[in-house]
Structure 1
Amino acid sequence: METNWNLLKFDWERAKALVAVAEAGTFSGAAELLKLAQPTLGRQIKALEDELGVALVEKVGKRLELTPIATEILEKFQLMAEAAEEVSLIVKGNSKELEGTVSISASESYAAFLLPKILLKMRREYPKIHIDIIATNDSTDLIKRDADIAIRNYRPVQNDLIIKNIGQSKFHIYGTQEYLDELGEIKEVSDLNRANFIGIMERETLIQGLNVFGLNLDQENFPINSSSHLAHWEIVKQGGGLGLMASSVGDREEGLVKVLPDSFPEMIVENWLVSHRDLKNSYRIRAVYDFLYQELKRTLLMANEPF
């Protein structure tokens, strides 16, 4: 459809004035919305009426009311205002200025143990970019833009996502030496069947996952279960039972012992850095995504026992 430019006989700035009057109900309120002097706003409305050749506003008592034709026109002007706002957002998202806010969704363990050092380094590289960390063990919806970037321990299957592998997670079982002494001698995997475990997910899911490695656990082995990785880890550190943690964290934790390090296999999980495909055109988000990818991959590779 070709545009008939000869029909476009009004100024958008004056159309904005009508939208503002409809929203505010008064010239003074509309002037405040548009940050104009009230007489200036009044002149814009009058000029728009002259351009269109119709009366748009009537004064009823102390309030302004739109005429019937203005009400009909207003709907189109509001669509124009919404389109103009969308254009501004697109331009903002594609701005080459590396400033603004980027949200990163990550599990509690990633947010607490891995991201801090990387984000501090990023702050030196991009001082005008602000980071919002969404520390959650649930999956944020990138399609709905609940976050700009996410770190996942599974490969998403949705379309319209940018997905890069950042390395493996190697988890092991840990406990305090005092708790292990209470259990008695642990020589083989079956000896762990008499232990208490501190859960970090649905009990049945964790039971099935651990029993694959030769254990024979049931609900009685999980007296405490937490949706929080940090709460789970703190209970393990205080001798409440055995728990799972990334080797790169557990091996550095004073007072904790890796259980059966030579005979119990490490549990390996692949990790992925994810963003919405539309956001690849945002310089700000792309800069953060690329920085995270390089740093996460490098850090996990150097540790050789990633989260």
Structure 2
Amino acid sequence: MDWDKLRIFHAVADAGSLTHAGDTLRLSQSAVSRQIRALEESLGTTLFHRHARGLILTEQGELLFDATSTMARKLESAAARIRDSESEVFGELKVTTTMGFGTLWLAPRLIKLYDRYPDLKIDLMLEERVLDLPMREADVAIRMKEPSQADLIRKRLMNIRMRLYASPEYLERSGTPTRLEELSGHRLICQNPATPQVTAGAELSNKLLSYDIPSSLTVNNYFGVLQAVLNHIGIGVLPDYLTADFPFLVRVLPEIESVDVPVFLAYPEELRQSRRVAAFRDFVQEEVIAYRRRQSDVITTAD
């Protein structure tokens, strides 16, 4: 089967249009159309239905597109590994993690990675949905639980817990609760338990909301919870990794916390030799060590 025709077919199927595919491939519409007709003739089947809104794949076209998509992912992986064989770290790295960890811990630290590798292009995808690494939806993931797929390399980075924090200004104005029952005199800020999040956080929020708390603020991510706490709105449920970067926050009711939440870094086995992945992995591990040191300093100072 002609590789060039398959490449053109894949571009047309992806774009849904001969014109748009031609623009991507830098070919005329007529040249693209001739290649598609020739491929259909060689296979003895129709690959596209022509429709007023564009081209729609037939059942046979869907089968071929699945095959060319797999080929494209493998070629992309091979190209990445070839580029990574050079001495410099450059190119795109797709990283996925949760909204909270990505915005509050990872993103503020990335300037150090860019200082080290200025030609690196990071596509940071922040969402609670677990992306499929073997299918190359992302190159590296930082997840709040151990990955279940066997074909992933994984490294446990740290454990975190959800705890209660407030600003000094809020506590000066509203007082500091010393017993769980005293939360009824305060405004609770937490993630809405119904929103996607780690189970430990949802369980703690549900437990606290079950008490007689007349005023609360629920947000769909920890970034919003933090902003509300920093603006003295109430007492918030936040991950403890924030204490290193926001040491002035006061922990409230120290006996109240979630169970441990493990944080793992994972990437596909096929990217084991990738220089970009290795650079990111080493950077994150260095930052975790520095974070632990700062966290210990905060605890020592508090004691």
TM over 0.5: yes
Larger-gyration structure (1/2): 1
What is the percent sequence identity of the aligned residues? Answer: 21
TM-score for both structures, normalised by structure 2? 0.64
Matched, 1:257 2:250: yes
Q: Name the structure 1 match of 2:232.
A: 239
Query: Partner amino acid for 2:97?
Result: A
Cα deviation, 1:98-121, whole Å, max 9, x if unaligned, reads 321001112333323332454222
Matched, 1:150 2:141: yes
Query: Partner amino acid for 2:167?
Result: T
Q: 1:190 to 1:267 in 2, by over 3 A?
A: farther
Q: Name the structure 1 match of 2:41.
A: 71
CA contact (8 A) 2:105 2:241 kept: no
Q: 1:264 to 1:65 in 2, by over 3 A?
A: closer
Q: 1:161 to 1:219 in 2, by over 3 A?
A: farther
Q: Could you tell me how far apart the structure 2 residues matched to 1:184 and 1:291 are?
A: 41
Equivalent residue in structure 2 for 1:111, among 102, 109, 112: 102
Within-5 A mapping of 1:155-166: 155-166=146-157
Q: Could you tell me how far apart the structure 1 residues matched to 2:71 and 2:205 are?
A: 55
Query: Partner amino acid for 1:232?
Result: V
Matched, 1:277 2:269: yes
Q: Name the structure 2 match of 1:59.
A: none
Moved more, 96-105 or 84-93: 84-93
Q: 1:216 to 1:123 in 2, by over 3 A?
A: closer
Equivalent residue in structure 2 for 1:123, among 114, 117, 121: 114
CA contact (8 A) 2:244 2:295 kept: no
Equivalent residue in structure 2 for 1:186, among 166, 177, 181: 177
Secondary structure of the 2:187 match is coil
Q: 1:258 to 1:35 in 2, by over 3 A?
A: same
User: Gapped runs of 5+ residues in structure 2?
Assistant: 13-17, 46-60, 299-303
Q: Name the structure 2 match of 1:94.
A: 81
Secondary structure of the 1:145 match is coil
Q: 1:280 to 1:85 in 2, by over 3 A?
A: same
Q: Could you tell me how far apart the structure 2 residues matched to 1:167 and 1:182 are?
A: 35
Cα deviation, 1:210-258, whole Å, max 9, x if unaligned, reads 677xx68348566321112211211222232211224453465487432
Q: 1:177 to 1:152 in 2, by over 3 A?
A: same
CA contact (8 A) 1:175 1:259 kept: yes
Equivalent residue in structure 1 for 2:294, among 275, 283, 303: 303
CA contact (8 A) 1:93 1:281 kept: no
User: Gapped runs of 5+ residues in structure 1?
Assistant: 1-9, 42-62
CA contact (8 A) 1:172 1:267 kept: no
Pairs aligned (count): 258
Moved more, 114-123 or 129-138: 114-123
Q: 1:149 to 1:70 in 2, by over 3 A?
A: closer
Secondary structure of the 2:265 match is strand
Q: 1:188 to 1:105 in 2, by over 3 A?
A: same
Q: 1:158 to 1:193 in 2, by over 3 A?
A: farther
Q: 1:73 to 1:255 in 2, by over 3 A?
A: closer
TM-score for both structures, normalised by structure 1? 0.63
Q: 1:219 to 1:289 in 2, by over 3 A?
A: farther
Q: 1:290 to 1:72 in 2, by over 3 A?
A: same
